[in-house]
A and B are shown apart, each in its own frame.
Chain A
Amino acid sequence: MIAKHFNYFAPGSIPEALDLLRKFGNDAKLLAGGHSLLPMMKMRFAEPVHLIDMQNIAELKGISVRDDVISIGAMTSENNILRHEPLAELCPLLMEATKWIADPQVRNKGTIGGDIAHGDPANDQPAVMLALDATFHIVGEKGKRIVAANDFFLGTYLTDLSAGEILARIEISKQAGARQWGFRKLKRKTGDFATAACAVSLNVNGDVCSDVRIALTNLGPTAFRARKAEWVLEGHKPTPERLNAAVQLAMQSTEPAADQRGNEEYKTAMAGEMLHRALQDAIARK
């Protein structure tokens, strides 16, 4: 319950935050919603010397929709995503998945950027970002860079983000947001992390699947795309045989960790079941 002592800073702008990161290096941690970091600090799993609170940096918050792009500030809370009515139509997969994250209080604090940057395979937004071909806009000492969600998740709690960098915003193309979608999450109770979950987006034109994206949550060291399952559907009719083949291939690609949510076999079987349902949902949503 009691975190180790630390120094606290609450910069008002990105340059100020970058200055602090430069000064303190690996001894500093960015504090976003604090609903992953503070719990770890209260257990003394994490003992940062300096906390840099991002809550006063207005340019990291909010959602804007322009031309072909939905742009979400990294410090936008999960509930502020749910409260953004246009997103229900522009990006229903994101809206539905966000509803299943944690509980109302946690969603008031937890941010989409923190959910992604934490790199926990159990978090939901990483798979949603993979299914939506999201891009992450990162600022650092050397300037800005853009990383695809595909290239971002490297391992458990390990992402492409380095110590001096800040995830500033997430971009999703309207085209990806408008794809047919499915999201299924098996969990023990409201607020729990997934035993198995999957996010799917695809188009079905003239009976043929295209732009198939299948991403799995809590079924390996990171959220990941089940590429072979995507390939078996891409360019084909979503017949029951094809869907079954995709499900089997996705199940072969899981590497779940056994824990209180179940052993490897159970989680893999549930991954298949969730994916089967999500694919059927996506196809029915034409």
Chain B
Amino acid sequence: MTKHTVSFRLNGKPTEIEIDPRTLLVHALREVVGITGTHIGCETSHCGVCTVDVDGESMKSCTVLAVQVAGKDVVTVEGLADEQGLHAVQAAFIEEHGLQCGFCTPGMLMRAYRFLQENPDPTEEEVRWGLSGNLCRCTGYQNIVKAVITAGKNLREAN
């Protein structure tokens, strides 16, 4: 099979990879680029631990081919913090104990990051609905909901 050269922006930086068409975006990120925050928790597109941002929308990178992101803007958990420090969603997950094993956390953070742009001042019910594509085995979700609400509040106050 012919390899494809795929150019895209990854966490703000121009990136070029050479891959088989069948390579999933999650494998391209972890194994070709070598950034391993994005995890894999299932093979049926349910768990959302592979969630990344593609052109401003949350996507499960296990169900997107890497060739499909040619020319697009991809953000992973490694791209959330900047020179000023942690992003508000990262800080709030620490503050509210929104993680334990940390395996779902990158996907949760990427979904929370985008969800709070879609809905900056969500109710608890809206947070649960908005993060329903992300499974967690440790927290029971309660502290994740608190973290997202806290992050939303901090983001609104910062703006």
Contact = CB atoms under 8 A, between A and B. Distances in A.
A pairs with B: yes
Interface in B32-75: 40, 43-46, 48, 51, 57-60, 62-65, 67-68, 70
A63 interface: no
Interface in A97-117: 102-106, 108-109
Interface string A154-187: 0000000000000000000000000000000000
Interface residues on A, range: 20 to 34
Contacts of B1: 5-7
A108 B63 contact: no
Interface in B1-32: 1-2, 4, 20-22, 24
B22 A39 contact: no
A34 interface: yes
Contacts of B64: 34, 38, 109
B66 to A, nearest CB: 10
B122 interface: no
B120 interface: no
Interface in A7-43: 7-8, 10, 34-35, 38-39, 42-43
A191 interface: yes
Interface residues on B, range: 20 to 34
Contacts of B59: 105, 108-109
Contact of A105 (B4, B43, B65, B111): B111
A242 B3 CA distance: 63
B132 to A, nearest CB: 4
A227 to B, nearest CB: 35
Given A1-B43, A5-B22, A35 B63 contact: yes
Contact of B2 (A7, A103, A108, A109): A7
Contacts of A102: 133
B133 A106 contact: yes
Contacts of B131: 104
B133 A105 contact: yes
Interface in B122-150: 129-133
A23 to B, nearest CB: 16
B29 to A, nearest CB: 15
Interface of A: 1-8, 10, 34-35, 38-39, 42-43, 51, 53, 55, 79, 102-106, 108-109, 190-191
Given A6-B21, A8-B67, A105-B58, 4 more contacts: A6-B22, A7-B2, A39-B44, A104-B58
